Structure 1
Amino acid sequence: MTSPSRSIHVVAAVITDARGRILLNRRTGDSDMAGLWEFPGGKREPGETSEQALIRELREELGIEAEVGEWVMDVPQIYPDKRLRLEVRRVQHWKGTARGREGQAITWVAPDKLSRYSMPPADLPVVAALRQPGQYLITPEPTDGDEAWLASIEAAIAGGIRRVQLRTPMAAQRQALAKAVVERFGKQVEVLVNRDIALASELGVGVHLGSEQVLQLQARPLPESLLVAASCHDLAQLQAAQRLGCDFAVLGPVQPTASHPGVAGLGWDAFVELREQVSLPIYAIGGMGAGDVETARRHGALGVAAIRALWPSC
């Protein structure tokens, strides 16, 4: 893709009311991507801070005086005519009554209903960051025995892990351990099995596709009610994962890792160049740990995926 020469910095707000609903604006007929819903905000002008820009935009768009809260994430996104950096901030306190002052429709949406609204590509990773876990645990092989392995998963869940990929090499062991995880922890954590579509379907859990599977499949292998993820290393794989309707992808390695000796990491600049060409939610993998979630979100990632750094020793 040819890189657009125009770059803009947009600041948007996740505005939540007392019921936890989130406010969306609908783009009007004279704007780009008219009819799509988005998080309200606008372009940061020269000389403005992000806070000043967002306060001004929300005053102009919605007629409210906002108190800008914590940062959520940055999303780099390429459009045909521009390279966009979308900076997202929370707004939980404001004065006035929100209304569409520029003729636009507005609506308050429960977080679990956000995916029903058609949105621009840059807004989609924000929805993922609001609804999906920032950490994705990939299990190591159960070298210390099945019970010790299951105990470590229990400890990871107790520590806040809410999404787990079960990766064991032997089919019989994979099936038995996956069944044990679903029976013990299925109500506490989202479970995906590595590569095995048939097993995922049998157990009613998600599947994490290998990079070669992503390129080979012609359609989403599981229904919308079950998660489908993919390992990706380049743009072709990311685009294939997006076409399949994957719920998220894992991209890397960002940094060199012990599990892939001799493989140079992408680095964050290359990660961003890939990330900005798709709207798919993406975890960064490779040298990542729990403390890297904010750094990952500064570069447009949903969060981090890891084996050793997220695996508790019991």
Structure 2
Amino acid sequence: MPQLVRSERVVEVVAGVIRDARGRILLTRRTEGRDLAGLWEFPGGKRELGESPEAALRRELHEELGIDCEVGAALIDVPQAYPDKRLRLDVRELKHWRGSVRGREGQALAWVPPDKLARYAMPPADRPVVAALLQPDRYLVTPEPGADDAAWLSALERALAAGLRRIQLRAPATAPERWRALATAAVARCREARADVLINGDAELAASLGVGLHLRAAQLRLWTQRPLAQGLSMAASCHDADELHAAQALGCDFAVVGAVRATPSHPGVAGIGWDGFAALREAVSLPIYAIGGLAADDVAEARSHGAQGVAAIRGFWPAAPAA
């Protein structure tokens, strides 16, 4: 498996999400003679010494595209390892921009509808940016259903009503026949809410229900090619760089990495922390959710370390309504 780059050279880069009146997003093509020539990227460039990210982005967009802009909120900050350097890509939304966009450095430009962004070949650091723009920032992992299936389904409905749009159905201690019936009912509710739903560990059940599959880390060694049709989400739980590389090679759409913090389910086991998460994040170009003692309030922190967002059981599973 490829190893993490050990270079201490870190290149700070800023990029902007520039939208036109039709909601299309601007990509620029890297010119010949540059690293990764021919690939499409979000426009921007390197920060100069002592320059703030906002000032750097305003300068770069003026120099490259001839526009003036007002920089808005942070979208994601992606650490990415390359053969000769470690890059950190700080991506910002633009509040406003003025001027006529043109490639002042001879670069090709493309205004792309958001749902077509994934079709463009991009450098590794830019690929998680597309996911951050288009995919959910929260990933609910369901708890065991306990003795009351109706109460479990009611809690799932409340989670969907609260806006959860990516769900992993997981209940490893539940009897297979009971779980098949419960998962079937859960999938129907997720589809009604237009949520992306994945079954944990059971490729046969996922295929029979026509939904995505979330692989356990140990299952990554079982297949040499993607065991799921394209168009259905496939993900994996990973704990180290080798597992992340295996998930990427298998064609997973995203991964889950942790535990970031200590959790009640693993008493006495320290989490990897955000620095540990970022070190794994830079090994691959997959979108990655952070997991382990996290909740919705941690999404911004997770994004600042390159995460797609946060995965959680307790953090997202609704409490039982008061009697």
User: Using the alignment, how far apart are the partners of 2:227 and 2:199 within structure 1?
Assistant: 13
User: Using the alignment, how far apart are the partners of 1:295 and 1:101 within structure 2?
Assistant: 35
1:264 aligns with 2:267: no
SS at match of 1:86: strand
Question: Residues 227-278 of structure 1, C-alpha deviation per residue, up to 9 Å, x if partnerless?
Answer: 0010111111111000011010000111110112232211111111111111
Q: Is the Cα–Cα contact under 8 Å of residues 17 and 92 in structure 1 kept in the other structure? A: no
Q: Which moved more, 1:262-271 or 1:53-62?
A: 262-271
Match of 1:17 in 2: 20
SS at match of 2:192: coil
- The counterpart of 1:273, out of the listed 265, 273, 279, is 279
1:137 aligns with 2:143: no
Query: Which segments of 5 or more consecutive residues in structure 1 lack a partner in the other structure?
Result: none
User: Using the alignment, how far apart are the partners of 1:20 and 1:173 within structure 2?
Assistant: 45
1:181 aligns with 2:186: yes
SS at match of 1:308: coil
Match of 1:163 in 2: 166
User: Using the alignment, how far apart are the partners of 1:70 and 1:163 within structure 2?
Assistant: 24
Match of 1:36 in 2: 39
1:235 aligns with 2:263: no
Residues 1:26 and 1:2: Cα distance change in structure 2 (over 3 Å): closer
Given residue 269 of structure 1, which amino acid in structure 2 is its aligned partner?
A: D
Match of 1:304 in 2: 310
Q: Is the Cα–Cα contact under 8 Å of residues 4 and 82 in structure 1 kept in the other structure? A: yes
Match of 2:112 in 1: 109
Q: Is the Cα–Cα contact under 8 Å of residues 287 and 308 in structure 2 kept in the other structure? A: yes
**What is the Cα deviation at residue 30 of structure 1?**
1.4
Match of 2:131 in 1: 128
User: Using the alignment, how far apart are the partners of 2:249 and 2:188 within structure 1?
Assistant: 32
User: Using the alignment, how far apart are the partners of 2:273 and 2:166 within structure 1?
Assistant: 25
User: Using the alignment, how far apart are the partners of 1:72 and 1:130 within structure 2?
Assistant: 8
Given residue 317 of structure 2, which amino acid in structure 1 is its aligned partner?
A: W
User: Using the alignment, how far apart are the partners of 1:51 and 1:137 within structure 2?
Assistant: 34
Percent of residue pairs bearing the same amino acid type: 62
Match of 1:57 in 2: 60
Normalised by the length of structure 1, the TM-score is 0.98
1:87 aligns with 2:90: yes
Aligned-residue CA RMSD (Å): 1.0
SS at match of 1:217: coil
SS at match of 1:309: coil
1:203 aligns with 2:209: yes
**What is the Cα deviation at residue 183 of structure 1?**
2.0
Q: What is the aligned residue count?
A: 314
**What is the Cα deviation at residue 288 of structure 1?**
0.5
- The counterpart of 1:68, out of the listed 67, 71, 77, is 71
User: Using the alignment, how far apart are the partners of 2:153 and 2:23 within structure 1?
Assistant: 35
Match of 1:150 in 2: 153
Normalised by the length of structure 2, the TM-score is 0.95
Q: Which runs of 4+ in 1 moved over 3 A?
A: none
Query: Which segments of 5 or more consecutive residues in structure 2 lack a partner in the other structure?
Result: none
User: Using the alignment, how far apart are the partners of 1:141 and 1:93 within structure 2?
Assistant: 47
